[in-house]
Amino acid sequence: MNELERLIDQASEAIISSTLTLALTGAGISVESGIPDFRSAGGLWSRFDPAEYATIEAFRANPEKVWEMLAEMDKVVSAAKPNPAHIALGELERLGYLHYIITQNIDNLHQEGGSRNVIEYHGNSSTLSCLWCGKSYSARDKRGDMPPRCECGKILKPDVVFFGEPIPPDALNRSFQLASSAQVLMVIGTSALVSPANTIPSIAKQNRAKIIEINMERTQLTDSITDIFLQGKAGEVVPALVQAVKKKGGGSPLV
Which residues form the catalytic set? 122
Ordered DSSP codes for 62-129 = -HHHHHHHHHHHHHHHHH----HHHHHHHHHHHTTS--EEEE---S-HHHHTT---EEESSEEEEEEE
- Per the CB < 8 A criterion, the answer to whether 83 and 32 are in contact is yes
Longest dimension (CA), the chain: 63
* Cα–Cα distance, 110 to 92 (Å, whole number): 12
- Per the CB < 8 A criterion, the answer to whether 15 and 209 are in contact is no
Compute the radius of gyration of the chain from its Cα atoms. Answer: 19
CB contact burial 212-249 (16+ within 10 A = b; e otherwise) = bbbbeeebebbeebbebbbeebbbbbbbbbbebbbeeb
How is residue 166 annotated by DSSP? P
Q: What is the amino acid identity at position 251?
A: G
Please list the residues that pair with 127 across neighbouring strands.
Answer: 138
Rounded to 5 degrees, φ, ψ at 230 are -105, 100
